[in-house]
Chain A
């Protein structure tokens, strides 16, 4: 607090909005209270009579499966949606958020997964976007802006160059810029929507450090995440949502992970990894000396019935392996064969024809065709199966797609629903179904981070499916940065670092420590991370 006032005092020539801002609320005070909130969309009740409060200085975690109502709640807080019923109070006063500006006005800032920064502008320009400090001549006071940005970042314990274009920063740093921006507007409540989904573990540590500093300053944090370990690291209280209702609000320390999952899923989830004994057969996918797109000399074999895991830290190139083998990224050298047949480089069509499938890590960029229906998205890679001389037999197509909607329990009002409207977990299942519909001609399926950003219930279903497919004789290449799931489902694990495979471990040999050690050999301690890189 003291530092803030000093900073404001220094900038006397600057028309400082900070000077006039009210002080941040005292810890423990209710900053935001929502009572009886209800929000419906045609055919769905997204939020049903929900009460929710956030206190100054607390980290309040929001948990729930995809579709439970968390995002809707956040969007109401952000002023993007208006509730059908209920009252929102900020600092005890009833408010009405008609648009995001209203919400910002009340010093509430939502940091989304897709950041809304301007990539071409500098860090400082982004931090003060929409409220540039001015000189006495009415011109933008760039010097003050730079100085204050450095101060704000300094208060968060960061040293990012304020002149650097935001587009050049890593996602983690951009996120911190967003938070600095929230501070420049004296946010008293910051909502973070799955902030760690694209961060390395070192970057996560830095973010958590920032969160702790924010807490000290009395800023309230609403933290949305699927990752239970993170919640136990930082959250004071947890609220769990299920099917549009608030199930429980509890002090985080008073809960167990098992309880949290049960509240989220609505039942006791017995076994997250339903791994059964594999029956491993002949080699199917064989890569020899594959290079290109940042990979060097990749050798790997996936056998029938085998689940091969590829583990590495963010940036190690694990997802690139799938892309290069499939032909989605450039292969400069080496050979790839599937069941003895060579696969041409850089031609996904050839890989598919020979029996290879790839689920990419970026659903929206190169997986889903957002405007198209659930059905069209599902059958995109297997359409010829339902077609005679290019004529699509609509009924057969719908029947086949419908079967997978049922089997994967995909929540959609109909097959004709544009896939854009499904929740992340359900979208991921649609993409799984796209390859499952090719089962007749699919020998090896490669999955890049298939459980990223999806809820526990859907995760368990995806693990079960993977096990089931392997049992049917398919080979599976599973790329992931999450250790528990790699240990949980892989028969054999390849560890990567800087585009090379550095270790190979059997299921029996693999432990968390060994994986981390192999992934990080020669690497600086993880906590060096973001702030240092920013300085250069």
Chain B
């Protein structure tokens, strides 16, 4: 291609002179912009249709629920940008949940329980990375196997669930407590604060550090990255471990919210997470995707599900809607690639 169509985000001379035109273009031409517009439109619509939607309680419950998806989706964004994937994050919710709850019961110590959860995350992440990179098996296959193995471990660990016997107050606070009060808005739940902090941390890592740059390079062209001196396997291993550890953290928040560790937790969670990441603009071809896009997609999906409940539509539709969103995300991705002349 010679004269290429300039990229959407590249401002033209006129837009540089007029920032407003640039902002409008961003809103309607980039994935993030479109998601933001749709999200705002959906919120306005739900606020009109349901008196409950805009209430402080609903908003924060909604955000708390979405926090866990957001936390895992952040890791999954890194992994998908690096051209890998992890299908085991849903099973991790069950496995880490039952193991961590058992550890809490045994030690009666919050940090000990958390440490066990995160270590389990590191272990699963290393196994995923090791099988994918050392044995050179596609991570889709590896983590599909781990999806079953990890779920199976949860089943063998307990017949149904591990109940909370330790009654630690700090433990309950993680999932259901409030971190602080925003004047004029309300009390902000801990899960929301944790998710926001992780988002900020990884937004900085992905955009401002050599590691972040390497993640994009490794996903965009692993050979080129290697020949430029980047340790491709190391970067990918870190992405696997980060994803699993964040999945473990989400599982910890989940058992706090449910007050028990259940071996059937997180069914279909991986699809929700991956669907959000793809809807957010990341490409399975690697090298493309932003955390902002992922976050907006998580918010959009969560709001959509919330709307289904509030409007009294049969909640079974939630699952179907998630699938539908994946189809839309993939269609958008295909359309974008076509317009980039990648086909």
A-side interface residues toward B, CB under 8 Å? 41-46, 66-72, 244, 326, 328, 348-349, 352-353, 358, 360, 365-372, 376, 380-381, 383-384, 387, 390-392, 394, 413-414, 416-418, 420-423, 434
Report B64-109 residues with CB < 8 Å from chain A CB: none
B160 contacts the other chain (CB 8 A): no
Inter-subunit contact B5/A41 (CB<8 Å): yes
Name the residue of chain A whose CB is nearest to the CB of B7. Answer: A418
Residues of chain B within 8 A of A414, CB atoms compared: 10
Inter-subunit contact A421/B221 (CB<8 Å): no
Residues of chain B within 8 A of A349, CB atoms compared: 226, 229-231
Report B271-289 residues with CB < 8 Å from chain A CB: 283, 286-288
B18 contacts the other chain (CB 8 A): no
The one of B6, B227, B287 that contacts A328, using a Cβ cutoff of 8 Å: B227
Q: Interface-forming stretch among B46-54, B174-182, B209-217, B294-302? A: B209-217
In the assembled complex, the Cα of A166 lies from the Cα of B115 at a distance in Å of: 56
B220 contacts the other chain (CB 8 A): yes
| Per-position 1/0 for B5-27, Cβ under 8 A of A | 11101101100000000000000
Name the residue of chain B whose CB is nearest to the CB of A365. Answer: B223
B30–chain A nearest beta-carbon distance, Å: 13
Residues of chain B within 8 A of A69, CB atoms compared: 2-3
How many contacts A-B (CB < 8 Å)?
A: 125
The one of B2, B230, B231, B288 that contacts A380, using a Cβ cutoff of 8 Å: B230
B228 contacts the other chain (CB 8 A): yes
Inter-subunit contact A387/B210 (CB<8 Å): yes
Inter-subunit contact B229/A352 (CB<8 Å): yes
Inter-subunit contact A384/B210 (CB<8 Å): yes
Q: List 29 A-B contacts (CB under 8 A).
A: A42-B5, A43-B6, A44-B3, A46-B2, A66-B2, A67-B3, A69-B2, A72-B3, A348-B229, A367-B224, A369-B216, A369-B224, A371-B283, A371-B286, A376-B217, A380-B224, A380-B225, A380-B230, A381-B229, A387-B209, A392-B209, A392-B210, A394-B208, A416-B10, A417-B6, A420-B340, A420-B342, A421-B4, A434-B228
Given A352-B229, A371-B288, A376-B213, A41-B224 contact (CB < 8 Å): no
B135 contacts the other chain (CB 8 A): no
In the assembled complex, the Cα of A190 lies from the Cα of B335 at a distance in Å of: 30
B1 contacts the other chain (CB 8 A): yes
Name the residue of chain A whose CB is nearest to the CB of B229. Answer: A352
A274–chain B nearest beta-carbon distance, Å: 27
Residues of chain B within 8 A of A358, CB atoms compared: 227
Residues of chain A within 8 A of B216, CB atoms compared: 369, 371-372, 376
In the assembled complex, the Cα of A387 lies from the Cα of B214 at a distance in Å of: 13
The CB with the most chain A CB atoms within 10 A, among B209, B224, B225, is that of B224
The 9 closest A-B pairs by CB, nearest first: A421-B4, A46-B3, A366-B223, A369-B220, A371-B287, A71-B2, A381-B228, A352-B229, A42-B6
Given A328-B227, A349-B231, A376-B216, A422-B4 contact (CB < 8 Å): yes
Name the residue of chain B whose CB is nearest to the CB of A359. Answer: B227
Report B181-226 residues with CB < 8 Å from chain A CB: 208-211, 213, 216-217, 220-221, 223-226
Inter-subunit contact B9/A71 (CB<8 Å): no
Name the residue of chain B whose CB is nearest to the CB of A241. Answer: B2
Residues of chain B within 8 A of A380, CB atoms compared: 213, 217, 224-225, 228, 230
Residues of chain A within 8 A of B1, CB atoms compared: 71, 420-421, 423
Residues of chain A within 8 A of B12, CB atoms compared: 42-43
B16–chain A nearest beta-carbon distance, Å: 10
A24–chain B nearest beta-carbon distance, Å: 31
Residues of chain B within 8 A of A348, CB atoms compared: 226-229
Inter-subunit contact A244/B3 (CB<8 Å): yes
Residues of chain A within 8 A of B7, CB atoms compared: 417-418, 421
In the assembled complex, the Cα of A375 lies from the Cα of B216 at a distance in Å of: 13
A244–chain B nearest beta-carbon distance, Å: 7
A448–chain B nearest beta-carbon distance, Å: 12
Inter-subunit contact B229/A353 (CB<8 Å): yes
In the assembled complex, the Cα of A187 lies from the Cα of B3 at a distance in Å of: 28
Residues of chain B within 8 A of A71, CB atoms compared: 1-2
Given A383-B210, A384-B210, A392-B208, A421-B5 contact (CB < 8 Å): yes
Inter-subunit contact B3/A368 (CB<8 Å): no
Inter-subunit contact B225/A369 (CB<8 Å): yes
Inter-subunit contact A391/B209 (CB<8 Å): yes
Name the residue of chain A whose CB is nearest to the CB of B285. Answer: A371
Given A369-B216, A376-B213, A394-B208, A423-B2 contact (CB < 8 Å): yes
A392–chain B nearest beta-carbon distance, Å: 6
Q: Other than the known A360-B227, A421-B4, what 6 A-B pairs have Cβ atoms closer than 8 Å?
A: A70-B2, A348-B226, A348-B227, A372-B216, A383-B210, A392-B213
A406–chain B nearest beta-carbon distance, Å: 19
Inter-subunit contact A369/B4 (CB<8 Å): no
Inter-subunit contact A41/B221 (CB<8 Å): no
Residues of chain A within 8 A of B3, CB atoms compared: 41, 44-46, 67, 69, 72, 244, 423
Residues of chain B within 8 A of A416, CB atoms compared: 9-10
